[in-house]
Amino acid sequence: MNPPSRDLIRRIVFDPGFWDGYLDRDDEEDPPEWTSLSLLTAGERTLGLEVMLHPTLMRVILRHGDAELPQLGYDDAAEAYLPWIFRWDELDRIARLAALRDPDLRHPGPFVALLSRFTPMTTSEERAVAQPVLAAALRALDGEPLAYHLEHWDNCAAQGGYRWVQDGGGWVLQGEYTMRERANPEFPHRDLAVFMGDVDAALAATVEPGWRAVARAEADPAELARRLGAAGCEHPVILRALVDAVDAYETGWVLDLLRG
pLDDT mean over 206-219: 94
228 occurs within a structural domain: yes
157 and 239, same domain (yes or no): no
254 and 154, same domain (yes or no): no
54 and 183, same domain (yes or no): yes
Return the DSSP state at 24.
Answer: -
28 and 144, same domain (yes or no): yes
1 occurs within a structural domain: no
Does the structure show a pLDDT above 50 at 22?
no
Quote the percentage of the chain above a pLDDT of 70: 82
Q: Which domain holds residue 92?
A: 6-204
Mean pLDDT of the chain: 85
Whole-prediction pTM? 0.88
Cα 106 to Cα 141: distance, rounded to the nearest angstrom: 10
Cα 101 to Cα 115: distance, rounded to the nearest angstrom: 18
pLDDT mean over 31-46: 84
Per-residue pLDDT band at 16 (split at 50, 70, 90): low
Does the structure show a pLDDT above 90 at 106?
yes
Cα 241 to Cα 219: distance, rounded to the nearest angstrom: 15
The two most distant CA atoms of the chain are separated, in Å, by: 56
166 and 239, same domain (yes or no): no
Cα 120 to Cα 163: distance, rounded to the nearest angstrom: 9
93 and 142, same domain (yes or no): yes
32 and 95, same domain (yes or no): yes
170 and 218, same domain (yes or no): no
**Number of independent structural domains in the chain:** 2
145 and 185, same domain (yes or no): yes
Range name among 76-80, 124-128, 171-175, 197-201 with the lowest pLDDT average = 76-80
170 and 242, same domain (yes or no): no
